[in-house]
Each structure stands twice: as structure tokens, then as C-alpha cells.
Structure 1
Amino acid sequence: MTDWLASVYPWTKAFHVMAVISWMAGLFYLPRLFVYHAERGTSAGEPRESLKIMEYKLLRFIMGPASIATWVAGLALVFTPGIVDWTMVWPWTKATAVLAMTVFHHWLMIERKKLARGEGSTGRRYRLMNEVPTLLMVVIVLSVIVKF
């Protein structure tokens, strides 16, 4: 049943890497847009309206599809025979970090709606939150490459 996954493994892995890059680009950029929105987009008109459109489109048309593609390809890799040894620590640290990344993505969606209503947080908070995907990326990459 899963033998076909082994035959398409290089393609699945390549698709997964491309999807992750797209998702991560959005996870790095959206909090920065939130900083601009919180600090410069407080009054009606421009740049507030432009920032709202940019934030929505980044989430809806880039980050959403990229996160789904990342999960689909990632799960395909998990179910490919011989790829993941669940007796080791690294798959668990990676899985935990990916789940945390997904939670962060959903937090960004909530914050975008708050900002659109004029209820967002401070630029300082968004600057701090901008570091979250970097820290999670470090855990994920070290887990997969170093296999600690």
C-alpha cells in the first residue's frame, strides 16, 4: 500500500521543501506587516487599508495553501516506509515544533482579524513574536539534519 510513496519519495521531499519555504516566508513577513500596521496604520485611510489587504492576501493566498501543502507532503513523508524512525528523539522534536508553528500560524490569523477591527496589539509585541518562527525553524532543521 505505501510502496508507491517510496517510489515518489524524491518528488514528495522536493514538494515539501518548496512548500515549507513558501510557508516560512509568510510566517517571517506577516508579523513585520503587523508591526507596520500597529505603528503606522492606526488612522483610517492609507497605509492602514493597504496593510489590511496585504495581510489578508498573504494569509489567504500564500500562507494558507503553503501550510496545507507542507502538511500534506510532510505526512506523506512520514508514511513513506523507512523514512522516519519513531524510536529516535528527532521526529518527536520536529513534530512538536511543526505543531507549534501551526499554532503560531493560527495566532497570526486571529491577530490579523483584530488589527482589521482596530484592536491589535503593539508593535513591540509583534516584533517579539516575529522571532517565534525563527526559533521553531532552528529546532526543526536541527532535528531533521542533525537528528538529535
Structure 2
Amino acid sequence: MTILWIKTLHVFFMIAWMAGIFYLPRLFVYHAQTQEKAVQEQLKVMERRLWYFVTPFALLTLVFGVVLIYLYGYEWFAASKWLHIKIMLVTCFYIYHGYLFVLLKRFARDENRHSPRFYRFLNEAPVLLLFAIVALAVLKTW
């Protein structure tokens, strides 16, 4: 029963994390589009709060994922090639998360270097990565 609760927490925190890091680039789109100083300042607050709100979810996703691997054991981990691929893809999401922080800091300093179109792509492209991760976790095959 414990392992099912650990899985539940892992999936819950992953969903919460994904919701946040998919919304943050959408805020960047709006931020890159506006020229109004008051709107820019409000978006800075929203972006910062969202990033700091979802970062603990990213950490808890990692913690519960590692606990699951530990509970399943080394032999299971070694035999689960699908999991090795999933971990590589999930690592891309942690890199993405860090890159969003870099962009957040640039917006905070009014040093945006990208167009709204760039942020739209940044917002939409990771959906394919998420699909691959979910497919690997559900199908457990490669």
C-alpha cells in the first residue's frame, strides 16, 4: 500500500509542477507583447510568484520518484530500460525549469531578448516531451 501512496504523490506533484511550468512561458508571451510599464510590473510579480510556487513541486516530484526507484529495488531499476529513457527526458524538464528561471530573471531586469513567438514555442514544444514521458511510464516499454 505504501508504494501506491508514493506513486500517487509522485504523479500529483508532477501534475502540479507541469501546470506551473506550462503557464509561466504563457506569462512570458504576454510580458513580451506589452509595452505598458504597469502591466510589465504586474507580470513580473506573477512570474516570480508562480516560479517559486511550482519549484517545490519539482523537488517533491524528484524526491518521490527517487523513493519509488528505491522501493522497487536495484534489480528492477537495472532491468527497466524504459525508466532510463524516462529519466533522461525528465532531466530535460529540470533543465527547462532552470532555463525558465534564467528568463524570469531577464524579465525582472527588463532585459528580454526574445519575441512573443519564441515564448509561444517555448510554451508548446515541451508538451511532446511530456507525452513521451507519460507514454514510457504507462506502457513501460521501449
TM (normalized to structure 1)? 0.87
Show the counterpart of 2:111: 119
Show the counterpart of 2:84: 92
1:72-124 Cα distance to aligned partner (Å, 9 max, x none): 00110111125944333211111011100000000000000101111112111
Partner Cα distance (1:144, 1:117) in 2 = 39
Q: Does 2:18 align with 1:24?
A: yes
Partner Cα distance (2:125, 2:78) in 1 = 26
Show the counterpart of 2:7: 13
Mapped contact 1:19–1:66 kept (Cα < 8 A): yes
Mapped contact 1:35–1:127 kept (Cα < 8 A): yes
Percentage of matched positions with identical amino acids = 38
- After superposing on structure 2, the runs of 4+ consecutive aligned residues of structure 1 that deviate more than 3 Å are 82-85
One-letter amino acid matched to 2:105: K
1:28-47 Cα distance to aligned partner (Å, 9 max, x none): 1001000000001x3422x1
Unaligned runs of 5+ in 1: 1-6
Partner Cα distance (1:55, 1:73) in 2 = 26
RMSD: 1.5
One-letter amino acid matched to 1:104: Y
Mapped contact 2:25–2:120 kept (Cα < 8 A): yes
Partner Cα distance (2:8, 2:94) in 1 = 21
Mapped contact 2:69–2:77 kept (Cα < 8 A): no
Show the counterpart of 1:78: 69
Picking from 104, 125, 128, the partner of 1:132 is 125
Mapped contact 2:83–2:137 kept (Cα < 8 A): yes
Show the counterpart of 2:41: 49
One-letter amino acid matched to 1:116: A
One-letter amino acid matched to 1:12: I
Paired residues in the alignment total 139
